[in-house]
Structures are given as C-alpha cells and as structure tokens.
Amino acid sequence: MSSAADQEALPENDIRPAAAVWPGAPQPLGARYRAPGNGAVEGTNFALWAGGAEAVELCLFDEGGGERRLPLTELTHEIWHGFVPGVRPGMRYGYRVHGRWDPWTGHRFNPAKLLLDPYARAVDGARGGAADGFSGTPAEVYAHVRDWPDRHLADTVRDERDSAPYVPKGVVVGGDVGADEWLDDRRPKTPWPDSVVYELHVRGFTMRHPGVPERLRGTYAGLGHRAAVEHLAGLGVTAVELLPVHQFAHEDALGRRGLRNYWGYNSIGYFAPHAGYAATGTRGEQVGEFRQMVRALHAAGIEVILDVVYNHTAEGSELGPTFSLRGIDNRGYYRLGPDPRHYADYTGCGNTLGVVQPQVLRLITDSLRYWVTEMGVDGFRFDLASALARVARGGDDGFDMLHPFLAVISQDPVLRRVKLIAEPWDATAGGYQVGGFPPLWSEWNDRYRDAVRDFWRGALPDVRDLGYRLSGSSDLYGWGGRRPYASVNFVTAHDGFTLRDLVSYERKHNEANGEGNRDGTDDNRSWNCGHEGETDDAGINELRRKQVKNLLATLLLSTGVPMLVAGDEMGRTQRGNNNAYCQDNEVSWVDWSLLDDPGWGSVHRLARRLIELRRTHPVLRRRAFFAGRPHGDGGLRDLAWFTARGTEMSEADWYAPRDTFGMFLSGTDIAQRGPQGEAVLDDSFLVVLHAGGAETDFVLPGAPWAREYEVVVDTAAEETGAEKRVPGGERLPVAPRSVILLRKTG
C-alpha cells in the first residue's frame, strides 16, 4: 500500500496499480469525495448495496477509456465499500457485480456488464444525446444474448461480451452544497392555494427562444436565462413542473426508427441531472448548472417541481438492456412475478421497482432528499404514483394508503414540507386512485380534465360532475382534512393534445412516431370546430381561439390548483400528435413566434390577466371547501349556482342537459382568516359559462346577490373594459361559446 504522500504526488485521477483501496465506510451510499485537510487524505469513498452479490469490483476509467478494476472486499450489512485515495471529482467509474446467473429464480448477475451506480450524482457518456446520432442500443449492453435464435429463451442465455465501451459511467462529484444554501427563507415557499403550476420541458421550452443564446438553448442554463425567466414571471406562474430531469436512456426501438426518447420517462439515474440538458459539460458540471438554474427561478419567485419516475427504470422487461439495478441485484430492486424470471409490470414499461424492499425505499427517499437539500427543488410530481403504493401481502397487489412509501414520506422532516403531487393511477385497472391519496398529497385530477373538455364540446349529459370540478372537487378530496388544493386541475398535460390541438383535431395524428398511429389514446374528448387540422378559414380559426380562451378561463377561475402546459398560453401545436414522447423537434418545441401573431397574442394577454386576477383575489384561490351557507350574520351563501333565467339551480336543473349556467362566489363569505385572525374579505364574482352555439341572454341575479355588476372578462371580446356595467336582474347578452366574469359593484 502506498503512503499518503505517494497518493498526493500522483497525477490527477491516476488509476495505475499504485492506487490502493482502503476499507472505507458503508455510509453514505454512492461515491463521496473527501478533500484533503486536517490530516485527511484526499480521495473518494465508494459504497454500493448489492445484497445477493458474491463479489463487487469498482471500475475506474481514465481519459482514454482505460479501465482499472479494484475489488471491494469490505461488506457491511449487504453494502460493499472501500475508500480509494487520490480519486478526485471528474473521475468516471462503474461497477461489475459477480453472482449467480439463474434467470429462472430471478438472479441475473453478469460481471461482463459495467453497471451504473444508482447513487451516481453525475453521468457521462450516455448515448442518445442531442448530437451523437443514436441509432439503437448495442447488443453488448444486454446481459443476455439479445439475438438468440429462440427468442422465448433469449433472456436465459448469458452474454459474455464487455459492455463498458457502450454504457454511461458515473462521475465523482465534489463540493456538496451546505444546508444553508437552500434555507427556507431563500425559497419562494408559495402556499398551495396561491400556486399556478406550469408544466414544461427543459429542452423544448428554450430550443426556439430568440432571446436565449443559441449555445444555451435546450439546457438548464437556457431555462435559467433572463429571457426564459422573464416570460414565466410575466405570465405570473408560481412554479415550473419540469418533465423528467433524472438521467434517462433512449429505447432501442426508437433508435432503430431514427428517434429518441424526448419526454424522459425512462430513468437510469435518480441522483444525476440528465447530461443531455447541460451546456457546460458532463463531468459534474451539469450539477452546478442545474443549481444555478434553480437559483435564477427562485430569484424570480418561481418554485421548481420535478416530475420523477420511481415506478420503473429504463431496463424494461427481462428482454431489456442491463444498465444498473438488474445487474446489481435483480431480486433486490425489482418486483418479480409469481414466475421470478419475469417482472410484475404495473407501469406498462416492462418492470416495477420493488418499493416494499427497504433498500429500494431508501434509494427513493435518499434521492428525494438530495434534490431538496442539495439541488434546491421545491417539490415532486410522482409519475404513476399508484405503482409506488402497491401492497404485496398474501397475494394482494392492491393500492394501500398505509403503504411504507406513503408512511415514510409523511413523517420525513424534509419531504413532508415540500409539494407532493401524485399522478394517481398506473397501467392497471386497480391502480386508478383519484381522490385516494392521504393528506399532504395533491393529485392530478383527470376527472376535472374530462368534465371541462366535455362541457365545452357539448358532450356532458348534465352538469352535476362539472359543478364539483369547478368548486374544488369536494366529492373526491373532502375527507381526512384535505383541502381544495389537493386537486391539481388541468385541461391538458404533456401526454395528449395541446390546448390548440384540442380544438383543432378530433383524431390523433401520430404517424411520425413510427407506430402506425396505434400509440396514444383515442379518448381525446376534443372538437375540431368543423375542420380536422389546420385551416385558412378565418371563422374557424376565430372560434378555435375563443375555445382556447374559454378553456383557459374555466381552468383559472376554478377552485383548486391550476396547471398550464408550456405554450398553451400562446397556441402551441403538435400538429395533432397526442403522444409526442419521441418527437425531439419542432413538433414538441415551443414556437415563440406565436406571441407575434395578433390572434394568439390575445390568448397570451388573457392568460396573464386571468392569472393576475387569481393572484389578487382570495375568493378565486380558496383554502377551504365551500359550505353552501353564509359565514357571518347577514352574509350570503359562499357559493351559489344560477340558470340562465337568473334563478338558483334546483335539483332537477343539475340532472338536465345544460350549456349555460352561472357560478356566484361570495367574497364576504370566505371561510378563512388572515395571519392575525382577521376576516378575509374580497370582491364577489359571477362566472357565466355558455357552451351553446347561439347567442343567449343571461339574467343576472339581483338582490340580495347584487344590485349591479361590471364585466371584467369576456372571452368573446378581444379587450374588456370595466366601464361596462349591468344592473342586477337585467338580461346580459352572452355571445356563443364564451365565458364572462363579472364583479359585483353594488
């Protein structure tokens, strides 16, 4: 063994045989760099959980790709560990794990395959980046013989070829951020009721932005650039929800079709920012670049929420490649089926992480805490969250509200304080759990999406369901102390039509995906306004813009947390593609020239105005469900519903087909108090929604509701002035297919 002095004299990240492996420590997991000083020797501690392994080799790579294998001989509580003096930040590394090859019992160890550290904080050399001409996953990356003649048995035949030249490597990262870097008083900490979420793709948001320097487009630095941040702040959103930024891989089938995974729901590294979105480098620079982006957004008062994919990995089914967990301990990381050669697949992606296993639960929670405490993020949206809360007791694989995953999150002192959003379903019928998650969680509310879409296309049999959706979905979330902000309301998301396409197409047009237009949902609940696709017909285009305004107004005037999708506020189109997961091109990228179009520019102005109204009026962002009664002497009911005749809706009215109705929100009957216990008072508003194709009259409710109203927003008018006043009890002409917001003035 060489001395400390010898180690310090070695060239940077030298991997010659002189380098030694000291026992090191089993905690923390991953590669943790230790700087010299106070008598400490510079180097890196490596620790890997591999419960079923027989031996583990640490593999270090020099600049030319040369590899040195160092056995990790220390084993503590199923964690293999060692400290290597002289290893500095920037060193690339991986593991080779030895053990049984017996797919029939779930064992898939193969030391010929270089494996990515699950705790790697940066990844270098991932194939499928923006410039490397990815054309498919090499056969060497598979632990089995991918091209075995008998495909039924292919996954049982071990492939002995070395995968190291073809797979990404972990990178040692130094300079951990101190706890004071992300102190609460430096975060926006926007309360849930005040939040407006904006779902965006790091790459797609800036790829065509004229104000972002070309070298920064499509990167974390681009999203943190002043031009990008100014649009978000000007629009008024309070949080960005980023499509997956964990390191992900591209599917072989896409590469063979000349495509790549654009959305990123194919994770291989839960601690590493995706290297393909870095402008500054992939030897750890991506970590600092991501942190700088978060700082820029925080400085503008914008929170950062990550869309995270802990339900499955990019390794897919037993016929998929081996990047990491499959080769480290297949049985320990994944949920296997009754036949352990195959996987339990609740995700539709070939595998499901075994969250009931302590080491997997630790992997997930360690990752979440890392992104909060060291990367500065403010919350998470969990993809297919129901798959994370599947029980596995007595053959029952149902959803369990007391699942260890949900329990650990609820008591964790870091995670219980951030925003938690569930996509409350998975790929199986039993996974649909809208309204089923416990307190602390908010949920994507697809019942809101469906009801609003159906109303504006004239397909609702009655308005009972819509009434619940507009008022916070108390039927779903009014239990266990949950609040209206448990409902994340949305009309569109990354998955499906854009808002413009929702009013331009009735059928999906996914031919560019190369799957014969079979992919993507057929249940679009859309209306093309009389013509399929783009048209030069001025009347149809005017109607489409008005329908987009109607959908935006409905969303932003509803109780709950609204979520917009990047570009919907300016008419972004995907040309009818409702599953653009593999379209890393202008189909998916935001087209900023739309802001210069007079028609779509008016949509953007309306979105800004509605968000500002929501920000300034607490009656539009309630913290408690409506009670349907006054909250003080002489008050009005906090919520009332009206027919076009100006009469309150009866039980029979809710059960009848209806394309016009009004929602009255009383600003003097808000069930909340200010920070010093004072009553919260606001203006009262009447929202009139008219989905019919002909002009109609709406009789405005008179006393005691109001003696006079002023029109604040009218989606049928380009601009609306406050000078238009209408007495209560009078008829208000309502244009076909429009929303009118009126403020009580007397």
692-735 confidence digits (pLDDT tens): 999 999 999 999 999 999 999 999 997 655 568 999 999 999 99
> Which of 124, 289, 329, 383 is labelled catalytic?
383
Active site includes 383? yes
**What pLDDT is recorded for position 588?**
98
pTM value is 0.95
Q: Which CATH number fits domain 626-745: 2.170.190.11, 1.10.1510.10, 3.30.1600.10, 2.60.40.1180?
A: 2.60.40.1180
Contacts of 251-257 with CB under 8 Å at 24 or more apart are 251/137, 251/314, 251/316, 252/136, 252/137, 252/321, 254/582, 255/128, 255/134, 255/135, 255/136, 255/137, 256/135, 256/136, 257/514, 257/582
**What pLDDT is recorded for position 394?**
46
Domain ranges of the chain: 626-745
> What's the CA angle centered on 400, arms 397 and 404, to 5 degrees?
105
Contact, 237 vs 530, CB < 8 A?
no
- Give 99-141 pLDDT, tens digit per residue: 999 999 999 999 999 999 999 999 999 775 545 667 889 999 9
Alpha-carbon radius of gyration of the chain? 28
- Give 311-365 pLDDT, tens digit per residue: 999 999 999 999 999 999 999 999 999 999 999 999 999 999 999 899 999 999 9
At 731, is the secondary structure helix, strand, or coil?
strand
How far is residue 112's CA from residue 98's CA, in Å, rounded to a whole number? 9
Q: How far is CA 632 from CA 27, 636, 664, in A?
A: 58, 8, 17
Q: Are strands 685-690 and 660-665 parallel, antiparallel or unpaired?
A: antiparallel
Q: Which helix (H) or strand (E) holds 297?
A: helix 285-299
- Give 495-532 pLDDT, tens digit per residue: 999 999 999 999 999 999 999 999 999 999 999 999 99
Q: Which pair of tokens denotes residue 722?
A: 């406050």
Active site includes 345? no
> What's the CA angle centered on 247, arms 246 and 248, to 5 degrees?
105
> Which of 124, 318, 423, 714 is labelled catalytic?
423
Whole-number mean pLDDT of the chain? 93
How far is residue 508's CA from residue 497's CA, in Å, rounded to a whole number? 8
Q: How many residues does the chain have?
A: 746
Half-sphere exposure of 644 (CA within 13 A, CB side): 16
How far is residue 348's CA from residue 427's CA, in Å, rounded to a whole number? 6
